Amino acid sequence: PVHIDSEAISALVKLMNKSIEGTADDEEEGVSPDTAIRSGLELLKVLSFTHPTSFHSAETYESLLQCLRMEDDKVAEAAIQIFRNTGHKIETDLPQIRSTLIPILHQKAKRGTPHQAKQAVHCIHAIFTNKEVQLAQIFEPLSRSLNADVPEQLITPLVSLGHISMLAPDQFASPMKSVVANFIVKDLLMNDRSTGEKNGKLWSPDEEVSPEVLAKVQAIKLLVRWLLGMKNNQSKSANSTLRLLSAMLVSEGDLTEQKRISKSDMSRLRLAAGSAIMKLAQEPCYHEIITPEQFQLCALVINDECYQVRQIFAQKLHKALVKLLLPLEYMAIFALCAKDPVKERRAHARQCLLKNISIRREYIKQNPMATEKLLSLLPEYVVPYMIHLLAHDPDFTRSQDVDQLRDIKECLWFMLEVLMTKNENNSHAFMKKMAENIKLTKDAQSPDESKTNEKLYTVCDVALCVINSKSALCNAESPKDPVLPMKFFTQPEKDFCNDKSYISEETRVLLLTGKPKPAGVLGAVNKPLSATGRKPYVRSTGAETGSNINVNSELNPSTGNRSREQSSEAVETGGSENEENPVRIISVTPVKNVDPVKNKEIISDQTTQGNISSDRGKKRNVAAAGAENIQQKTDEKVDESGPPAPSKPRRGRRPKSESQGNATKNDDINKPLGKGRKRAAVSQDSPGGLEAGNAKAPKLQDGAKKAAPAERQIDLQR
C-alpha cells in the first residue's frame, strides 16, 4: 500500500515541476510534457479530496501557482480545485501565497473558462474569511458589463454570477433580481439576435453550437442557481421562472417563435429547460409549487425527438434519483421510455429502474425510522404517479382506441415488471389496491371533466388487467391501505362506488394476448387513410416481407409523427430486448407443450401486422448514439391518388405549420433512414437478423396460412 503524507505529495509536486521546467524524461517515457503535467495534476486533485492537510506547504502551493499561470485550461482548472480543497489555512499561515492567489482567482472568475470561473468562485468562498468583499469585487463589475450583443463574452460572467448568487444569497439575491428581470429574461432569453443554420440536424457538437445559445443555456442555469441559493418563494420568482421554462418546452425551444433558431439549438434549449425544472424539484420549497402540467412537460423531455436530449436527460434524472434528491414521482418518468425507438435507451431506462428500486428498498431496510417517509421512499408508491402521468399523455386521446391502450399497457408493464420481480410484503396486492382506490377518486388536475376522469379510470383498468394477468398473488389481502398523493387525486367521495369496467372484455383479451377480433377484408378498404395522425400504409418490398412478422409488435411503442409501419427490423427476442416482457420466450425447437396464452401471443403477433394505428406525436425518426440527428422524410412511396395524411402535433408541443415541414422535405427526401427508427433494418449477417430468422420458425405453417388475406388487404389499400 502507498502511504500518502506531506513527503509523498512533495515528491509528486517535484516530479511535476520537472515536467513544467522541461527537465523530466517524459519523452523517453513516451508521453509529452503537457500530458505528464495534466496527468500529475489530476492525480494531485484526487488526493486533495482525501488528504487535504498533506498539501499545506509553501513549496507545493508555489508549484500550483505556476500551474495557474499556464495556458492549458485543464491544468489551471485542476490547480484551482486543489486550492479549493486544501487551502483553508493559507490566509493565516501563508500570506505571501494568499496575496498572489487572490488576483489570479479574480481574473479566472471574470475572464477564464466557464469551469475555471466556477472553481474560482467556490475557491474564494471556501478559503477566505472576507469572502463577501472578494465576491462583491467580482459581482459588481460583471453585472454592470453584461452585453447580449457580444454573447461569446457572456458565458463566463453568467457562470460566475450564478454561482456567487447561489453561495451568498443573503448578499446577492436582491441585486440579482434586477439582473434577472432586466437582462437575463428581457434582453437575452426573449430575443434572437442571430439566425441559426438551417441544416436539419437535431444535434450539433459543442464546438458548433452558436455563442448566443450557449449564453442562453447558461442564463437558464443562472436562474436555477439564483433560486437554489434563496431557497424560498416569497417573491414568487420561482413561479415566473417555472412559467418561463414551461413556455420554453411548449415552444420546442424557440421561445420567441420567430423561427430564426436552428433545430440543433432548439434541442439544447429544450434539454436546458427540462433539466432546470428537474433541478428545482430537488428543493422542497420549489417542488411544492411545480404544477402537474409543468411536471408532465418536464417528463415528456425523455421522449424528445433528439436522441442526445433523451440520453442526457435520462442520465440526469437517474443521477438525482439514486441520490434520493428527487421526489418519487420523477421515477414515473422512466415508464415513458417504453416508447423510445432505440433499444439501447430502453435498456438503459430499465437498468435505471432496477437500480433505483433496489436503492430505495435497501434504504428502508437500513433506516427503520424511514417508515415515516414511506410515501416518498417506497418504490411501489410510484404506481399512482405513473397512472396519472400516462392518463395525461398527449398521445392518449381516445380512451377506447386499442392501439393507444396498447401503448399505455406497454408503458405500465415497463415499470410494473421491475416492481413485480419480488412480492415483498404482498406488494402485488398493494399495487392492485392502489389502482382500485384511484378509481374511487377524481383527477385533481381537472376534477370536473368527465373525459379526463374516464381516461384516468381507463389507465387504472389497464394496470389492473396487467397486474391480474402477471401475478396470482395480487388477490391476497393488501398489507395496508395505500395513501394517494393529494396533488394528483381528490379525496374519495363518501358512498361513491366505481365498479364500472372501462375496457371491454374484447379489448382486455387483445391487450393480454395480442389476438385481434377477426375482420373482413373490406374492413381495411373502408378505413379512412386521412385520419389525424395516420399515414397511408406502405407495402414492403419482397425482400422485407420476411422480417415484417414481429413478435414484439404490440409491446413496442412506435415513433412520432408516423403510423405503425411494417417493420423491417429483426425481431427482438430472447433474453436481451425481451427482458421487457419475460413471458415472451421463443424457442427454435418445435412447439409442443407450450402454455396456451403464450402460444396465442406468438401467433397473434404474427398476424396483426398491417394495422394502421395512431401514433406517438413527439418522437420521430431518431438517430442512434453517434449518428447525426437529421430530420428525415421516409423514402416510402405513397399512393398519389389518395389524400395526404395530415401530420399529428408533436407530443407536448405546439403543432408546426405545414410550410415548415415542406421546407426540409426536399433536402431530406433522399437521405437514408435514421438508425433510431423503431423498426430500423438489420442486416441478415447480424445476430439480430439470425434471431429474427429463428423466431419465425415456430408456427411457420400457421403464418403462411394467414399471409394470403393480409396481402389482399394490403393490395386493396393501395
Name the more confident of 28 and 635. 28
Looking at residue 593, what is its pLDDT?
A: 43
Q: Are 199 and 157 in contact (CB under 8 A)?
A: no
Q: How far is residue 168's CA from residue 170's CA, in Å, rounded to a whole number?
A: 6
pLDDT tens-digit profile of 138-154? 999 999 999 988 999 99
Rounded (10°) angle between helices 237-250 and 263-280: 150
Instruction: Please calculate the CA angle 661-666-672 and round it to the nearest 5 degrees.
Output: 100
Q: Are 332 and 385 in contact (CB under 8 A)?
A: yes
In the beta sheet, which residues pair with residue 630?
Answer: 201
Q: Are 69 and 107 in contact (CB under 8 A)?
A: no
Name the more confident of 692 and 176. 176
Q: What is the mean pLDDT of residues 648-662?
A: 41
The grid cell for 150 is 457580444
CA 45 to each of CA 80, 84, 355: distance values in angstroms, whole numbers, following the listed order: 9, 10, 29
Domains of the chain: 1-128 (1.25.40), 326-514 (no CATH)
Give the 3-state secondary structure of residue 201: strand
pLDDT category at 33 given cuts 50, 70, 90 is: confident
Give the other-Cβ count within 10 Å of 700's Cβ: 11
The grid cell for 24 is 523530466
- Phi–psi pair at 665, nearest 5 degrees: -65, -45
pLDDT at 594 over 50: no
Q: Are 304 and 268 in contact (CB under 8 A)?
A: no
Looking at residue 392, what is its pLDDT?
A: 96
pLDDT tens-digit profile of 361-401? 899 888 877 666 778 888 999 999 999 999 999 999 988 88
Looking at residue 564, what is its pLDDT?
A: 35
pTM of the predicted model over 0.95: no
CA neighbor of 122 nearest in space, from 89, 69, 84, 86: 84
The grid cell for 301 is 423531455
Looking at residue 510, what is its pLDDT?
A: 77
pLDDT at 602 over 50: no
The grid cell for 377 is 421512499
Cα-to-chain-centroid distance, residue 185: 25
CA 334 to each of CA 337, 422, 626: distance values in angstroms, whole numbers, following the listed order: 5, 19, 23
